[in-house]
Amino acid sequence: MEDKKRTYIEDVDRGIYDVIDKEKHSYKSEKGLTREIVEAISREKDEPQWMLEHRLKALEIYNSKPMPTWGADISDLDVDGIIHYLRPDTEMADSWEDVPDYIKNTFDRLGIPEAEKKSLAGVGAQYDSEVVYHNLNKELSKQGVIYTDIETALKEHEELVKEYFMKLIPSNDHKFAALHGAVWSGGSFVYVPKGVQVEMPLQSYFRLNAKGAGQFEHTMIIVEEGASLHFIEGCSAPKYSSQALHAGAVELFVKKGAKLRYSTIENWSRNMYNLNTKRAVVDEDGSIEWVSGSFGSRVSMLYPMSILRGERARAEFTGITFASSGQYLDTGAKVVHAAPYTTSVVNSKSISKNGGTALYRGLLKVAPNAHSSKATVNCESLMLDNTSRSDTIPTIDIQTDDVDVGHEAKIGRISDEAIFYLMSRGISEEEAKGMIVRGFVEPISKELPLEYAVELNNLIQLELEGTIG
């Protein structure tokens, strides 16, 4: 009993994230997934014929594939009960003043307009199925940087979109990639020309407000030779009793000598199935950095993938997952070394409490030609009680001898000795526990952009409030 008392931590009060706005939509598809619904989405968007054909082919693939059973239990996910497309009752704006008050107030609560003024070169904001606001620093526009919603890109840069769209994540990759290919809507398109250094970050924020809905945004980023970019993504949704589904796709193309950092905090509600797919391909001397925080959601299955196809390409993944009661967060990273002298580092941390499950699932593959490659995987899991669960499931496939590969995993609980030691120095039990947890996540938070580091620390502080001292 004493041990349980020491390790009990209250659930997070999600506050602003659970504020529900009244639904106002100019178009709302029927529940379920049929050919007619997919055709209607394409018609509403006035898409070219090739995109409609892409959607219908993806729908065929979706219907032919069984539900995956190798990861989290998603057997009770009712895709036919989901609304796959909702268009807010507004047009996209490039000024916050032109965004309807009920939507603007949501993003004001989340701090997005304020962050844009202080520290961002461009912002996109998606509400339900469509982007409602997009703006880019004029200096970057003059340098040829394109940052817009992907529907606009499809109209204004059709050949560029067609060249890259779902080439990294084809519809036949898995069932929810096919679902995405059929009903995708919204998302961001970024193109950074050769040699352009984007000094301040770009940020997109995805808010799913509607009840019983899905969000299927498609993000595509192309960073040309010698260019650099930091892209930030935020996600949240209020809690309902009905299911919600997120099956977005992120495709990142990092060319020769280019650099891309992709930072995400996913703070979904506890009724969300987060089945997102993220993938990057990196050419010679290029680098991709992933910084990922997974909070909220009932189920997450998310494994950002880096394909190092050029010599000396580099990938780094830094992630934190926090699972509580009723949550099964199955997350990790994949790296494929497909060229010589490539380098990767994966640092993953997870915290579980109140019976939550936090699981690391990773893939490290070294191709036969990828000699002289180096790879390091480090997984650490912290359990805050006796009822939570944490597992590490690494897959390592090495097809050449001339490599340097290391894997380390640690799973443990907050030790009574550490708590006792800090309390003997005059620190309360509550603060002692908080110090240990904050120290555990500090390597992650220092990698996040300022406002997201603050958000991460606030979420953890809320998780620690109510600890019995």
d(CA 226, CA 319): 26
Whether the predicted pLDDT of 93 surpasses 60:
no
| Statement: residue 454 has pLDDT above 70 | no
436 and 384 belong to one structural domain: no
Q: 252 is written with which tokens?
A: 């990142």
pLDDT of 21: 47
Confidence of residue 10 (pLDDT cuts 50, 70, 90): very low
Check pLDDT > 60 for residue 466. Answer: no
The answer as to whether 195 is a domain residue is yes
pLDDT given at position 137: 76
Q: What is the pLDDT of residue 60?
A: 98
- Same domain? For 393 and 421 the reply is no
Q: Given this model, what pLDDT does residue 139 score?
A: 82
Question: Torsion angle, CA of 235/231/314/167, rounded to 10 degrees?
Answer: 70
C-beta of residue 371 within 8 angstroms of C-beta of residue 340? yes
pLDDT, residue 158, reads 96
Of 228, 245, 347, 243, give the one whose Cα is nearest residue 293: 347
Residue 13 inside a domain? The answer is no
Task: Please check whether residues 32 and 63 belong to one and the same domain.
Answer: yes
Residue-level pLDDT at 453: 65
Q: Which of 398, 415, 432 is the last residue of a domain?
A: 415
Same domain for 408 and 435?
A: no
With H, G, I as helix, E, B as strand and everything else as coil, classify residue 320. Answer: strand
The tens digit of pLDDT for each residue in 328-357 reads 999 999 999 999 999 999 999 998 888 999
Residue 3 in domain: no
Domain membership flag for residue 289: yes
pLDDT of residue 56 exceeding 90, the answer is yes
Q: Which two tokens stand for residue 51?
A: 């995109």
Question: Is 250 part of any domain?
Answer: yes
Q: List the 122-127 sheet strands across, edge first.
A: 130-136, 122-127, 202-207, 228-236, 259-267, 287-295, 314-323, 343-352, 373-383, 403-413
Q: Is residue 6 assigned to a domain?
A: no
- Domain assignment of residue 378, yes or no: yes
For residues 98 and 194, state if they share a domain.
yes
> 410 and 468 in one domain?
no
Residue 90 CB neighbour total at 10 angstroms? 19
pLDDT of residue 227 exceeding 50, the answer is: yes
- Cα 440 from Cα 434, distance rounded (Å): 10
Q: State whether 49 and 117 are in the same domain.
A: yes
State how far the Cα of 319 lies from the Cα of 292, in Å rounded to an integer: 5
Exposure class string for 68-80: b at 16+ Cβ within 10 A, else e = eeebbebeebebe
Distance, in Å, from the CA atom of 452 to the CA atom of 233, rounded to the nearest integer, reads 10
Among residues 8, 101, 11, the alpha carbon closest in space to that of 323 is found at 11
Given this model, what pLDDT does residue 467 score? 35
Give yes or no for a contact between 436 and 6, defined as CB atoms under 8 angstroms apart. no
Q: How many CA atoms lie within 13 A of 417 on its CB side?
A: 0
Decide which of 5 and 17 is more confident: 17
Considering the domain architecture, whether residues 254 and 392 belong to the same structural domain is answered as: yes
Sign of the alpha-carbon torsion through 163, 246, 211, 320 = negative
Number of domains forming the structure of the chain: 2
Query: By three-state DSSP, how is residue 212 classified?
Result: coil
**Which tens digits make up the pLDDT trace of 372-407?**
999 999 999 988 888 888 999 999 999 999 999 999
Lowest-confidence pick of 9-13, 244-248, 449-453:
9-13
Q: Is the pLDDT of residue 73 over 70?
A: yes
Q: What pLDDT is recorded for position 23?
A: 47
What is the predicted pLDDT for the residue at 4? 32
Range of the domain at 463: 416-469
Task: Read off the pLDDT of residues 155-185 as tens digits, 9 standing for 90 and up.
Answer: 999 999 999 999 999 999 999 999 999 999 8
Mean pLDDT (whole number) for 244-250: 91
What is the reported pLDDT for 239? 54
Please report the pLDDT score of residue 460 as a whole number: 63
241 and 160 assigned to the same domain = yes
The phi and psi torsions of 54 (rounded to 5 degrees) equal -60, -45
What share of the chain in percent tops pLDDT 70? 75
Tokens coding 338: 């497909």
Given this model, what pLDDT does residue 20 score? 42
The two beta strands, 357-366 and 25-28, are unpaired
Structure-token pair, residue 73: 């239990």
Higher pLDDT: 54 or 105? It is 54
Considering the domain architecture, whether residues 451 and 336 belong to the same structural domain is answered as no
CA 295 – CA 304 distance, rounded (Å): 16
| 384, 400, 415 - which closes a domain | 415
- According to DSSP, the β-strands at 249-254 and 218-223 are parallel
Q: Could you tell me if 325 and 444 lie in one domain? A: no
First to last CA, the chain: 14
What mean pLDDT value characterizes the chain? 82
Whether residue 157 sits in one domain with residue 135? yes
What is residue 116's predicted lDDT score, i.e. its pLDDT? 55
Q: Is residue 95 part of a domain?
A: yes
**Mean pLDDT of the region 203-212:** 70
Predicted pLDDT of residue 8: 30
Residue type, 9: I
Name the token pair of 93.
Answer: 């704006």
Give the Å distances, CA to CA, from 17 to 159, 205, 451.
38, 13, 16
Q: Which pLDDT belongs to residue 84? A: 83
259-267 and 122-127 beta bridge pairing: unpaired
- Split at pLDDT 50, 70, 90, the class of 108 is low
Residue 468 has pLDDT above 50, yes or no: no
Among candidates 461, 338, 454, 352, which has minimal Cα distance to 411?
A: 352
Q: 415, 433, 451: which is the final residue of a domain?
A: 415
pLDDT in tens, 28-52: 567 779 999 999 999 988 999 999 9
